């Protein structure tokens, strides 16, 4: 018997963008140590063509949430939908890590072309597209070099070109510039702002730097640890394009940066598990209760 498909309900009509609903995740260890409540009741909507940064103290679940958006980790409860579908690895998602993860035995061009090769694209097309994205990142001249012959900044440009080659609808970046020197990092930030203008995809960007988050983002999601959860979502309305003026010097930037930094600092110094926990403050507040 052939069953007819149910009529679409409001809930089943694919919504563009990302919808995260009541997502929780525990990590259970095999050594008998207590389970870790990595994420608790995460709710977040990300509209199409939005740049969102996740900031918060170490261990607040930023990487876990990013890996969920890539389908690498399943939520324990709750739902995540990316353009109406459960997340999955594939050409529609690009991922950039702090460690560049280039294959040392492949040339830069072959590294960048790799995702297209996986899709079965002809080799001439792979090389042509790789060179296009290497040009975009300003490193076309290194196409025949091997990763170890490039500086860290150049390698990260190649990793970015590799993530872009499939023209992903979703670009996930986990502290991509953390290993770069301060000046290279600022140039890479400009590069990402420019790419973002042409790409029009959703970017979810994890960073420890509140400056970087405010500079690059439309929205900054401040998270808090133990268990990992969203403390606040802050809209950044600084005019675009932000590389054409000194956005960091504007009063709006300074006050948002200050607000985020004070929030995160407070989480860290009041967390007894943190190495920066301020015992003296805790003692003072305990004695104040007496
Ligand atoms: N595979 C794992 N097994 C056990 N615990 C994990 C695993 N991945 C992450 N965790 C724990 O989950 C919490 C959140 O980790 P993570 O998402 O890496 O945080 P962040 O990226 O914000 O530093 C941390 O307490 C971390 O130790
Ligand atoms: Mg992390």
How does pLDDT run along the chain (290 residues), one tens digit per residue?
444 445 445 444 567 899 999 999 999 888 888 899 999 999 999 999 999 999 999 999 999 999 999 999 999 999 999 999 999 888 889 999 888 899 999 999 999 999 999 999 999 999 999 999 999 889 999 999 999 999 999 999 999 999 999 999 999 999 999 988 999 899 999 989 998 888 889 999 999 999 999 999 999 999 999 999 999 999 999 999 999 999 999 999 999 999 999 999 999 998 888 888 888 776 555 555 55
Among all bound ligands, the one having the nearest atom to the CA of 99 is 2
Residue 1 belongs to some domain of the structure = no
189 and 220 in one domain?
Answer: yes
**CATH number for the domain that contains residue 72:** 3.40.50.300
199 and 154 in one domain?
Answer: no
Closest atom, ligand 1, to C-alpha of 25: 12
Q: Give the pLDDT confidence score for residue 274 in this predicted structure.
A: 85
| Ligand 1 midpoint to CA 33 (Å) | 14
160 and 58 in one domain?
Answer: no
Contacts of 135 (CB under 8 A, 6+ apart): none
Rounded to 5°, the CA angle 240-233-250 comes to 40
| Ligand 2 midpoint to CA 39 (Å) | 13
Q: If residue 237 lies in a helix (H) or strand (E), which one and from where to where? A: none
77 and 180 in one domain?
Answer: yes
**In this structure, are residues 211 and 179 in contact, taking their beta carbons and an 8 Å threshold?**
no
| Ligand 2 midpoint to CA 51 (Å) | 18
Residue 7 belongs to some domain of the structure = no
**In this structure, are residues 161 and 139 in contact, taking their beta carbons and an 8 Å threshold?**
yes
Residue 230 belongs to some domain of the structure = yes
Residue 163 belongs to some domain of the structure = yes
Distance, CA of 83 to CA of 49 (rounded, Å) = 12
Distance, CA of 71 to CA of 185 (rounded, Å) = 28
CA nearest neighbour of 110 among 76, 158, 63, 154: 158
181 and 136 in one domain?
Answer: no
220 and 150 in one domain?
Answer: no
Contacts of 286 (CB under 8 A, 6+ apart): none
Q: Give the pLDDT confidence score for residue 117 in this predicted structure.
A: 95
123 and 254 in one domain?
Answer: no
How many structural domains compose the chain?
A: 2
**In this structure, are residues 82 and 160 in contact, taking their beta carbons and an 8 Å threshold?**
no
149 and 132 in one domain?
Answer: yes
Residue 9 belongs to some domain of the structure = no
| Ligand 1 midpoint to CA 64 (Å) | 6
| Ligand 1 midpoint to CA 43 (Å) | 19
163 and 181 in one domain?
Answer: no
162 and 119 in one domain?
Answer: yes
187 and 148 in one domain?
Answer: no
187 and 117 in one domain?
Answer: no
In order, the DSSP letters of 45-112 are: EE-TT-EEEEE-STTSSHHHHHHHHTTSS--SEEEEEETTB----STTEEEEESS----TTS-HHHHH
Residue 258 belongs to some domain of the structure = yes
DSSP state of 170: E
Q: What are phi and psi of 67, to 5 degrees?
A: -70, -25
Ligand 1 pocket: which of 32, 33, 64, 268 to mutate (most atoms within 8 A of CB) = 64
Ligand 1 pocket: which of 36, 63, 231 to mutate (most atoms within 8 A of CB) = 36
Residue 116 belongs to some domain of the structure = yes
Domain that holds residue 128: 104-167
For ligand 1, residues with CB inside 6 Å are 27, 29, 36, 38, 58-64, 228
Please identify, among 167, 183, 200, the residue that sits at the C-terminal boundary of a domain: 167
Residue 176 belongs to some domain of the structure = yes
Half-sphere exposure of residue 121: CA atoms within 13 angstroms, side-chain side: 19
User: Judging by beta carbons within 10 Å of its beta carbon (0-12, 13-18, 19+), is residue 248 exposed, middle or buried?
Assistant: middle
């Amino acid at each position: 018997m052939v069953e007819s498909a149910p009529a679409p309900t409001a809930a089943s009509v694919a919504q563009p963008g990302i919808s995260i609903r009541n997502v929780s995740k525990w990590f259970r260890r095999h050594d008998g140590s207590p389970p870790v409540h990595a994420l608790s009741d995460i709710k977040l909507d990300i509209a199409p063509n939005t740049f969102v940064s996740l900031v918060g103290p170490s261990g607040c679940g930023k990487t876990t949430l990013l890996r969920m958006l890539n389908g690498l980790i399943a939520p324990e409860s709750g739902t995540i939908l990316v353009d109406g579908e459960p997340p999955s690895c594939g050409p529609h998602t690009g991922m950039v890590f702090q460690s560049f993860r280039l294959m040392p035995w492949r040339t830069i061009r072959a590294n960048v072309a790799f995702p297209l090769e996986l899709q079965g694209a002809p080799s001439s097309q792979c090389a042509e597209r790789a060179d296009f994205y290497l040009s975009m990142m300003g490193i076309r001249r290194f196409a025949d070099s091997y990763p170890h012959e490039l500086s860290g900044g150049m390698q990260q440009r190649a990793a970015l070109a590799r993530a872009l080659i499939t023209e992903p609808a979703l670009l996930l970046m986990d502290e991509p510039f953390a290993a770069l020197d301060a000046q290279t990092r600022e140039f890479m930030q400009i590069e990402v702002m420019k790419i973002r203008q042409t790409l029009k995809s959703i970017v979810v960007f994890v960073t420890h730097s509140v400056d970087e988050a405010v500079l690059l983002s439309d929205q900054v999601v401040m998270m808090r640890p133990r268990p990992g959860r969203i403390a606040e979502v802050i809209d950044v309305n600084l005019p675009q394009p932000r590389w054409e003026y000194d956005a960091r010097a504007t009063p709006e930037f300074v006050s948002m940066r200050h607000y985020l930094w004070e929030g995160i600092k407070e989480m860290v110094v009041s967390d007894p598990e943190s190495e920066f926990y301020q015992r003296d403050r805790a003692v003072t507040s305990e004695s104040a209760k007496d």
